[in-house]
Chain A
Amino acid sequence: DGGITQSPKYLFRKEGQNVTLSCEQNLNHDAMYWYRQDPGQGLRLIYYSQIVNDFQKGDIAEGYSVSREKKESFPLTVTSAQKNPTAFYLCAGGPRGGEQFFGPGTRLTVL
C-alpha cells in the first residue's frame, strides 16, 4: 500500500466545526497529496507538497488548509468555510512526478 496511513476511517462532525484528517507515511516519499472524491466522480486535487515546509494549492483548495512540518506527515484541515465538506478524502504519497501510493481514505460526513 506504499506505507500511507489515514485516520480515522469514518469521521462525523457538526456543521460549522473545523476538522483535521490525518495522513502519515513511512516510506520517505518526497511528495504528498490530498484529493477529494465524490460519488461517481474522479479525484480532485486539494493540496500537494513536494518538500517539507512547502505546499501548493490544487484545483479545489478553498475551505481547506494543510501543513507539512515533517516529511512523514501531511494533515488536512477542513474548515467551516468549505461549503460542502461531506466526501471521501484520499491522501497519497510518492516520488516527485512519479506514481502515487494511496492511503485507505477517510469518509467525512458533516451533519
Chain B
Amino acid sequence: AQSVTQPDIHITVSEGASLELRCNYSYGATPYLFWYVQSPGQGLQLLLKYFSGDTLVQGIKGFEAEFKRSQSSFNLRKPSVHWSDAAEYFCAVGENTNAGKSTFGDGTTLTVKP
C-alpha cells in the first residue's frame, strides 16, 4: 500500500526567507505526486503535480518541487516566502492505475514571521 510521510508537523520561517517542506513516499511503481495547500476552514488547492519527465516541477505562487526517485522524496521549495504563504501544506501520492485514488500525508503547517 502507498503511504506518505511529512516529517515536519510545523515549520516557522521569516518573511523573505527560503522554504523547503519535506515529503517522502512509499509506492511500488512510478508514482504520481502532488502538493496541495489549505487555508484554515477552506478546501485544498493544487500547487503542482508530477507524473513523469522533468524531475523539477514548477507550480503556482512561485513554488517548485523536485522528484528524487533514489530518495523517494518530493520536497516543496520556495526561494522567498510571503506572509500570505502561511497555511497547511499536504503532499499526496496517487495510484498510477485506473483506480487512481490518492493518499495524503498528515500535513505541514507553515507559519511566517514578519
Contacts and interface: CB of A to CB of B under 8 A. Distances in A.
A1 B100 contact: no
Nearest to A45: B101
A102 B42 CA distance: 9
B72 interface: no
Given A42-B105, A98-B32, A31 B43 contact: no
Most buried by B among A4, A6, A43, A102: A43
Interface of A: 1, 4, 6, 31, 33, 35, 41-43, 45, 48, 50, 56, 58, 88, 90, 92, 95-105, 107
A104 B39 CA distance: 10
Contact of B94 (A56, A97, A102, A104): A97
Nearest to B98: A96
Contact of A102 (B43, B49, B51): B43
B62 to A, nearest CB: 19
6 contacts: A31-B100, A43-B104, A90-B44, A97-B98, A99-B46, A102-B36
A32 to B, nearest CB: 11
Contacts, number: 66
B100 A43 contact: no
Given A33-B101, A42-B107, A95-B100, 18 more contacts: A1-B43, A6-B43, A41-B107, A42-B90, A42-B104, A48-B101, A50-B98, A50-B99, A92-B44, A96-B98, A97-B99, A98-B49, A99-B34, A99-B49, A99-B94, A100-B102, A102-B43, A105-B41
Contacts of B95: 97
Which 8 residue pairs are nearest across A and B when measured between Cβ atoms?
A97-B100, A102-B43, A42-B106, A96-B100, A43-B104, A102-B44, A42-B104, A104-B43
